[in-house]
Amino acid sequence: MTAKKLFIKTYGCQMNVYDSERMAEAMGGEGYEVTDRPDDADMILLNTCHIREKAAEKVYSELGRYKGLKAARPDLKIGVAGCVAQAEGEEIMKRQPMVDLVVGPQSYHRLPELTARTHNGAKAIDTDFPEEDKFAHLKGRSKAKRAPAAFLTVQEGCDKFCAFCVVPYTRGAEVSRPADRVVAEARDLVERGVREITLLGQNVNAYHGHEGGLAGLIRALDKIDGLARIRYTTSHPNDMDEALIAAHGDCEKLMPYLHLPVQAGSDRVLKRMNRQHTAESYLRLIERLRAVRPDLHMSGDFIVGFPEETEEDFRDTLSLIEAVEYGSAFSFKYSERPGTPAAERPQVPEDEKDDRLQRLQALLTKQQRALQDAMVGREVQVLFEKPGRLPGQMVGKSEYLHAVHVESSDLAAGDLARIRIASSGPNSLKGVGLGA
């Protein structure tokens, strides 16, 4: 029997990457194999994200590209999953009647059942927040060999209700997976070649599936033989407890890199955002983290042009960035999200947003380059993941998440090797091998 083919296009964050993997596995049990060509597919699935500007319109535009395929092959199934599916629901089918199924991020374990409903031309939609644990209903993961680094979702949803964010409405309330199931999945990943695991959650340090919180889970994972590295993302400053801070100092497998979004450096703007922390409390938190791990590299998120942000507010954000010295960051102009409190407030003119974003990104780029240039001459441990573009070149990640290129015929994917950094480029480092 010829296998059916599934094409998945993934938008957005690492959690969507993980979700797409699990969707593929769920459909694999129904005889589907993943393809990277939509024109070869028997089913096209868009796994969507609602965070960025005009997210829904981008999905509708993408769907429009598949009209010709659907017209030529009426049996082709087209589905929309993820956060736009949750937010738009039946509106997707109204605007694009060729869509066969719509499934929210908490219901994708039902994907095979929903697909079965469409075989006679019916439509299927599921955007509920089911009581059952979707992870418990997903089939066991394939035993195929995996890449050296993998994502592992441990927490979903958010209870913070930041004024700009749709996550509480599309992903629901905070829920955590039981620690024993997370550890079992991690062991399975390691058995298939994974050496680095990044724990994922919309608010991952609010994890409560272990009696010791996220720190307790990290310490449980630290005991897995063969697992060399642990990371986690994304976090909220208010959930960085003492146990997790301590883990950064004494858990060897926890890497010295932390993504800790602050969004703004003005207390007035932070209050309007409903962030429930101040710029000063954020800075003191980083001081405590660096006290236990002095070489910790920080990453952050920033929104410029939040409603009613003044030039003085913006300069406060620049001052915070100067104080922290970020190794990397993600920065965006504020964009309205219908249904969120901030969307109803007076908006900053687009030209001011553009100007502020350019100035903020220039400062962040300067800091990133300075910290990257400071790596030259240092020795780091690199986990190699894949061949580079040049013959004999391998590419991997340092402890600090820097991309490192090394020319060596002795290295392979999955190797962890000591490397001396020889030079710094715009977005990566070049190193020389020193042995294991």
Q: So what's the pLDDT on residue 177?
A: 93
* Contact assessment for residue 203 and residue 234, using Cβ atoms and an 8 Å cutoff: yes
State the Cα–Cα distance between residues 216 and 220, nearest whole angstrom: 6
Tell me whether residue 13 is annotated as binding.
yes
Length of the chain: 436
CA atoms within 13 A on the CB side of 144: 6
State the Cα–Cα distance between residues 156 and 134, nearest whole angstrom: 11
Q: Where in the chain is the domain with CATH 3.40.50.12160?
A: 4-126
State the Cα–Cα distance between residues 332 and 342, nearest whole angstrom: 15
CA distances from 102 to 78, 174, 232, 343 (A): 9, 23, 30, 26
State the Cα–Cα distance between residues 356 and 361, nearest whole angstrom: 8
Q: CATH for 257-374? A: 3.30.750.200
Q: So what's the pLDDT on residue 111?
A: 87
Q: Where in the chain is the domain with CATH 3.30.750.200?
A: 257-374
State the Cα–Cα distance between residues 254 and 267, nearest whole angstrom: 31
* Contact assessment for residue 429 and residue 375, using Cβ atoms and an 8 Å cutoff: yes
* Fold classified for 143-255: Transcription Regulator spoIIAA (3.30.750)
* Fold classified for 4-126: Rossmann fold (3.40.50)
State the Cα–Cα distance between residues 230 and 382, nearest whole angstrom: 14
* Fold classified for 379-435: OB fold (Dihydrolipoamide Acetyltransferase, E2P) (2.40.50)
Tell me whether residue 49 is annotated as binding.
yes
CA distances from 205 to 157, 219, 270, 312, 424 (A): 12, 14, 20, 31, 32
Q: So what's the pLDDT on residue 145?
A: 78
Q: Where in the chain is the domain with CATH 2.40.50.140?
A: 379-435
- Mean pLDDT, 10 residues at a time, the chain of 436 residues: 86 83 86 91 88 73 90 92 82 90 84 88 80 58 78 92 86 90 96 96 95 98 98 96 98 97 98 97 98 97 97 98 97 89 93 98 97 96 93 94 92 95 94 77
Tell me whether residue 83 is annotated as binding.
yes
* Contact assessment for residue 41 and residue 6, using Cβ atoms and an 8 Å cutoff: yes
Tell me whether residue 251 is annotated as binding.
no
Q: So what's the pLDDT on residue 49?
A: 79
